[in-house]
Amino acid sequence: MREAKANLAINNLLKDVTKKFDADKVVAQLAEIRVLALEEEDPTIVKICRLASEYIAEKSNFDLGYVAEEEIGDMSDMEYLLELMLKVDKPANREEIQEIRDKIKEELS
């Protein structure tokens, strides 16, 4: 994202989920990031924050299996998504966020 405040919020959430995944806290932090994305007028981030929050609220986790499926590494799905959000200006990252968005939509329907 463009604003330092938004990137700080994403980095703070990334630090938190690296230590421990607390569903309620993650949903609250995603809501904060979503507001910042609205201010930046970034519909991709706005949508992924909302969908990720809905997924977490329903399942109490963010275990999409995306990282394992794509053989990306040893990050959790949430850590990977947040890393992509930090560099959303790269077209490849925005595309992957949209792939994750589609996977969440499938899981929720």
Angle at 60 between CA 59 and CA 65, to 5 degrees: 65
For residue 9, what pLDDT band results from cuts at 50, 70 and 90? Answer: very high
Query: What ranges do the domains of the chain cover?
Result: 4-108
* Chain segment 31-89, per-residue pLDDT in tens: 999 999 999 999 999 999 999 999 999 999 999 999 988 888 889 999 999 999 999 99
pTM for this model (two decimals)? 0.95
CA distances from 98 to 1, 5, 15, 85, 95 (A): 15, 23, 23, 11, 5
